[in-house]
Amino acid sequence: MRLITVLFMVLFLSLSFSVVDAREFYEEEEGKFALGIKAGTLGAGIEGIMRLNSNFNAKLGVNAFQYDYSGTEDGIEYDFDLELFSVSALLDWHPFKNSFRITSGALYNQNSLDMNAKTASSYTIGSATYTAAQVGSLTGELDFDEVNPYLGIGWGNAVGKNKQWSFSFDIGVVYQGSPKVDLSANGTLSGNAAFQANLDREEQNLEDELEDYQFYPVISLGVCYSF
């Protein structure tokens, strides 16, 4: 909720200053096209921008990133493999004849997080404690909804006034839906009903801990070249 509050505060201030900031006023024809590269919380990406009319631009982009790290979730230490991949289809609305814009659209989200529990003498899973032999290798995967709505604001108009190079800045939020965790173990109790019930509880505990990530913050910087 704090991210959404900050986003709307920035939006209010931007609207206040945009009335007098008309440096990127343009009258070019529809169909102008630009390509851009960017980096941010969705990863590194490439984006195509096409001007629809004096107020609207359409954008299609691809973002990707991979990162390994370690951490603790619900008392268990994991090695994490984060893989970001998304395809975005967005619409920019320039309410004023300048660089400020409001952006909305959707992302096809293939972001995932693979989890591998570090070796330990025992594991607390659900409401019980098990030995390493009983658990074996504990692995998991975290996923979100595949189609996500996006809302944000930004600065920059790659298909604006008569120039080839431009910079862009975006801040917004993606709603990914509730996280979905799938855990598996291959130890001596892997086929035990009581153990599986505790594994299900552990999945729910992890989903509860990661619930805040249903709103994913988006911040990016980019550079564009228009044709």
Which pTM does this prediction carry?
Answer: 0.81
Amino acid at 198: N
The predicted model gives 54-83 an average pLDDT of 95
- pLDDT for the residue numbered 31: 67
pLDDT of residue 29: 53
Average pLDDT of the chain to the nearest whole number: 88
Confirm if 170 and 150 have CB atoms less than 8 A apart: no
Q: Is 108 helix (H, G, I), strand (E, B) or coil?
A: strand
Could you report the per-residue pLDDT of 109-164, keeping only the tens digit for each?
999 999 999 989 999 999 999 999 999 999 999 999 999 999 999 999 999 877 78
Q: Does the pLDDT of residue 16 top 80, yes or no?
A: no
Regarding predicted confidence, which is higher, 30 or 182?
182
pLDDT digits (tens, 9 = 90+) for 154-179: 999 999 877 789 999 999 999 999 99
Please give the domain boundaries of the chain with CATH numbers for all domains: 2-226 (2.40.160.170)
- The band of 30, judged by pLDDT with boundaries at 50, 70 and 90, is low
Range ranked top by mean pLDDT from 25-29, 107-111, 205-209: 107-111
Cα–Cα distance list, 9 to 42, 49, 53, 153, 165 (Å): 22, 27, 28, 11, 29
